[in-house]
Amino acid sequence: MSILIVTWTGDNDSVHHVGRLLGERGQTVLRLDTDRYPQQIALWTEYGAGGRRRFLGLPQGIADLDEVTAVWYRRFRAGASLPASLGDTREACVGESRQTLYGTIAALGCFQLDPLASVRLADFKELQTELALQVGLEVPRTLFANDPVAVRRFYRELEGRVVTKMQSQFAIMRQGQENVVFTSQVEAHHLERLEGLRYAPMVFQERVPKALELRATVVGRQVFTAAVRTQDREETRVDWRRDGAGLVDAWERYDLPSEQQEALVRLADCYGLNYAAADFIVTPEGRHVFLEINAAGEWFWMQREPRPALPIAQALTDLLMDPGLRRPNRLHGDPALREAAS
């Protein structure tokens, strides 16, 4: 029996941390660096009269994928290393690589942390907002729009207390350089240059006063929360990620009130997620305002010693090994979906 970690070669130490803990508890760990597929990793599935056979060829040997009991689906970059020399066929090769590898992972029939379908569903920020309100979380006033008239009205009503962000594009590649798109303050002069909304709609949101910013990490039904002060530095006031490295030692454990914890767990239930990272603002008067949930959000700095030292890797390890701690995956665990598929 083994546990499969789906990642890529450039991933951070969180993969090593969980892999080590699994190994210490007697688990065989298979690391699948998806960016090495299909050039350096072999994969084959055969269906026939004798049943099904499914194998993964890694540098260290061949693994029987039917022996995998759980998958930690962390990062997925199949086809990323395919050469530019493929020319106009490269895009098709990447597409086939991604489709084939994910299809194999999805078909394994074991617990997945988390299935790609659940992860992708959480990418839609308007759905997040709708569901967050339904489970009882407070959210800022928010506008999803490609209409300059609606944006100008929103800005006036909030007396200029507006920020803007992208839904899906974390970075834009320009001349080989990654340009991260951060949350930004909307200024009055920006209202005269909204013609770009014809090409890409954006999210506009009330700028909520901040005393603290929180990262609340859901693992199963546990919630681990840390807080950081971001308003003492100009570069981190609107988006702390502008200098996340500079804040890495400033995070502290935080006791998220039970009401917000329970609502956050209900939100994870809505998506069928066993892992998610959520961001909150704590206002000066103590309100907890939900911003977003990320099904693949990072957590490695939450483990840092001496603080905040949250045991997230241990919780993930427990979840991968103990079925009693999990939400069932909808495809393989929901009787209604099983019946519909049969």
Identity of the amino acid at 324: G
Question: Percentage of the chain surpassing pLDDT 70?
Answer: 92
Residue range 74-83: mean pLDDT, rounded: 94
Is residue 81 located within the same domain as residue 160? no
342 within a domain of the structure (yes/no): no
Q: Looking at the domain assignment, is residue 115 inside a domain? A: no
Is the domain of 198 the same as that of 248? no
Contact between 112 and 127 (Cβ < 8 Å): no
Same domain, 216 and 299: yes
In a domain, residue 218? The reply is yes
Query: Does pLDDT of 275 surpass 70?
Result: yes
Highest-scoring range by mean pLDDT, 135-144, 160-169, 177-186, 231-240? 135-144
Q: Over the chain, what is the mean pLDDT?
A: 89
191 vs 179, residue with greater confidence: 191
Q: Does 316 map to a domain?
A: yes
Give the pLDDT score at 333.
44
Q: Which residues pair with 68 in a beta bridge?
A: 2
Q: Quote the pLDDT of residue 174.
A: 65
* Pairwise CA distance, residues 96 & 118, whole Å: 21
- Answer yes or no: is 114 within a domain: no
Assess if residue 340 is contained within a domain. no
| Other beta carbons less than 10 A from residue 226's beta carbon | 25
Query: Is residue 127 domain-resident?
Result: no
Identify the top-confidence range among 106-115, 168-177, 243-252.
106-115
Nearest-CA neighbor of 264 among 140, 165, 139?
139
The yes-or-no verdict on residue 169 having pLDDT over 80 is no
Among residues 183, 206, 229, which one ends one of the domains?
A: 206
Domain boundary among 181, 206, 231: 206
Residue 180: CATH number of its domain: 3.30.1490.20
Residue 284 and residue 245 in one domain: yes
Do 58 and 43 share a domain, yes or no? yes
Tokens of 119: 């992860």
The answer to whether residues 189 and 243 belong to one domain is no
136 within a domain of the structure (yes/no):
no
Give the integer Cα–Cα distance in Å for 332 and 117.
12
In this structure, what token pair is assigned to residue 61?
């040997």
The percentage of residues in the chain with a pLDDT greater than 90, rounded to a whole number, is 71
Contact 17, 3 (CB under 8 A): no
Q: Is the pLDDT of residue 335 over 70?
A: no
| CATH number of the domain that residue 307 is part of | 3.30.470.20
Residue that is last in its domain, among 158, 173, 206 = 206
pLDDT for the residue numbered 242: 73
* Overall number of domains in the chain: 3
Q: What is the pLDDT of residues 279-314, one digit of tens each?
A: 999 999 999 999 999 998 999 999 988 889 999 999
Tell me, yes or no, whether 221 and 202 share the same domain: no
Confidence of residue 88 (pLDDT cuts 50, 70, 90): very high
What is the extent of the structural domain holding 276? 212-331
Do 308 and 289 share a structural domain? yes
CA–CA gap between residue 47 and residue 53 (Å, rounded): 7
Bridge partners, residue 282, by sequence: 212, 288
Q: Do 311 and 239 belong to one domain?
A: yes
Same domain, 325 and 217: yes
3-state secondary structure the chain: CEEEEEECCCCCCHHHHHHHHHHHCCCEEEEEEHHHCCCCCEEEEEEECCEEEEEEEECCEEEEHHHEEEEEECCCCCCCCCCHHHHHHHHHHHHHHHHHHHHHHHCCCCEEECCHHHHHHCCCHHHHHHHHHHHCCECCCEEEECCHHHHHHHHHHCCCCEEEECCCCCEEEECCEEEECCCEECCHHHHHCCHHHHCCCEEEEECCCCCEEEEEEEECCEEEEEEECCCCCHHHCCCHHHHHHHHCCCCEECCCCHHHHHHHHHHHHHHCCCEEEEEEEECCCCCEEEEEEECCCCCHHHHCCCCCCCCHHHHHHHHHHCHHHCCCCHHHHCHHHHHHHC
pLDDT at position 138, please? 97
Instruction: Answer yes or no: do 293 and 268 share one domain.
Output: yes
pLDDT band at 271 (very low <50, low <70, confident <90, very high): very high
The confidence band for 95, taking pLDDT boundaries of 50, 70 and 90, is: very high
Shared domain for 320 and 216, answered yes or no, is yes
107-111, 132-136, 282-286: least confident range: 107-111
